[in-house]
Structure 1
């Protein structure tokens, strides 16, 4: 059966990427509004209620308004904004979060697409918490760098303007109150807020997320191999998430921001030293792929009962 899809905000960065992934798929029929009607409340209400699945690519307040315009109990929603990521009644749209979560998503009417940073963080941390290797009260630090497209049209214009890029590498979120932190804490199972140190790099897309661990200080003093085994078991058989072998990781001298390219893959690495009792856990993803549009299309496939990787760039 053909599913009717409406992307509200489809002309933005994420919306364009989603359109590219669903274009030409015969099992999906895209509802579109012309330029004159995109901001017409009546036209949007009609499109929202005509769709089987709506994908919201809007600012937070506009996303809340869009949900309020849906007056039936049939239309399902995937919200790519921050508005509903820790809201009651919404299912977090990271299918790989934990065993059974994909099935929970399939039954949901309201799905909150994860942020790009939390995707990398949770992929590294949640399996370790579930395995008991990382205590829930542990003080966790996460850092990394993202391409500037993650900042939307305003940051793209800033970096691609006539005056040139403002910097090669720029830490931000210095007030330690980044909007992604609540979902990082809630869905990791940590009792305390992680210390989040993000940065933006002078690259259009791609990102690296890193969680360093002092293994010798953790209860039970887990080995690097224990950390790797927990991650490998969590994503065994996944077509989207890969965990590099310890042998391959030990032969690497770097992980590039563009490691996965413009794909919807998520690549995980465990770098460590048994001698020092330290490890660096690294996630590489495309901030516009698995960090945004790829995740939305993956969730759409799950909601529609379609092959999970259909339309994805793998």
Structure 2
């Protein structure tokens, strides 16, 4: 059976990456609008209702509008925007988040694709909260650095196009200084926390790839968990997963630096537990491609689950 797919916002950064991953598939039939019709409400509404699965790669308001145009109960949606990440009736599209998540995604009519930063943070923290090693009320900090592609076309132009308004030669940029980043609500909800984490995102002068870090003062946690207990808990949580892995202890011991670009072009998410048993401190770190497992690769993985295809089909560039 061939599935009709419409990528609304196909010309954007995420849309282009999704289409590149899906090209050449004989189980998919694409509905595409020419440049002249992409902003034609009638043409978009027709495409949205003709498709079996719609993938929204739009700003939040435009994504909400697109959903409102769907009148066909058969049309299923994967939304890559932030618009529905904590909305009722939407399934969170992180298949490895729990043992039941794949099954829920497979039958969902509305799936919200996770943010790139939350994908790493949730993967690191949720199993520890579930296991009681980190209390639900614990004050957590999430530090992260991403390539500038995460900011979309405007930020890409800022860093790459010397003629673009606001062109910058910055090597590194700290942002979201108001402590109100739009990814925080989905982090809090899906980590299982009572309070929002302190989130400190940053952008480096490189195109894509990211590191997400959660530092822990183990001596302050109830029970003072050992570094090895954190590692064992995460390793057990993701045992047998195809795209989420935990670096073994010998690899961690030999690692002296992490390159945020290391997993670019893949749908992989790799977790590390660095720690010092003497000082009872730990640095939990997640490595991923912000355009892969953090966006387009994850969306393709969810699409595969929803149509019953091989989960790994086309998730890597």
How much has 1:230 moved relative to structure 2?
0.8
What TM-score does the superposition give when structure 2 sets the normalisation length?
0.97
Q: Is contact 2:117-2:183 (8 Å) kept?
A: yes
Question: 2:298, 2:315 → 1: CA distance?
Answer: 9
The unaligned stretches of length 5 or more in structure 2 are none
Q: Which residue of 2 aligns with 1:93?
A: 93
How much has 1:144 moved relative to structure 2?
1.5
The unaligned stretches of length 5 or more in structure 1 are none
Aligned: 1:307 with 2:310: yes
Which deviates more, 30-39 or 279-288? 30-39
Aligned: 1:214 with 2:220: no
Q: Is contact 1:165-1:202 (8 Å) kept?
A: no
Aligned: 1:261 with 2:264: yes
Deviation readout 1:221-264 (Å, 9 max, x if unpaired) = 11111000111011111110111011110111101111212211
Aligned: 1:77 with 2:77: yes
Question: 2:248, 2:280 → 1: CA distance?
Answer: 18
How much has 1:131 moved relative to structure 2?
1.0
Question: 1:223, 1:257 → 2: CA distance?
Answer: 27
What TM-score does the superposition give when structure 1 sets the normalisation length?
0.98
Q: Which residue of 1 aligns with 2:139?
A: 139
Q: SS of the residue aligned with 1:7?
A: strand
Question: 2:241, 2:96 → 1: CA distance?
Answer: 9
Q: SS of the residue aligned with 2:211?
A: strand
Q: Is contact 1:246-1:271 (8 Å) kept?
A: no
How much has 1:86 moved relative to structure 2?
0.5
Q: Is contact 1:263-1:290 (8 Å) kept?
A: yes
Q: Which residue of 1 aligns with 2:253?
A: 250
Question: 2:302, 2:19 → 1: CA distance?
Answer: 14
Q: Which residue of 1 aligns with 2:277?
A: 274
Q: Is contact 2:129-2:192 (8 Å) kept?
A: yes
Map 1:23-172 → 2, pairs under 5 A: 23-162=23-162, 165-172=168-175
Question: 1:161, 1:53 → 2: CA distance?
Answer: 35
Runs in 1 of length 4+ with deviation above 2 angstroms?
A: 163-166
Q: SS of the residue aligned with 1:198?
A: strand
Q: Is contact 1:98-1:126 (8 Å) kept?
A: no
Q: Which residue of 2 aligns with 1:193?
A: 196
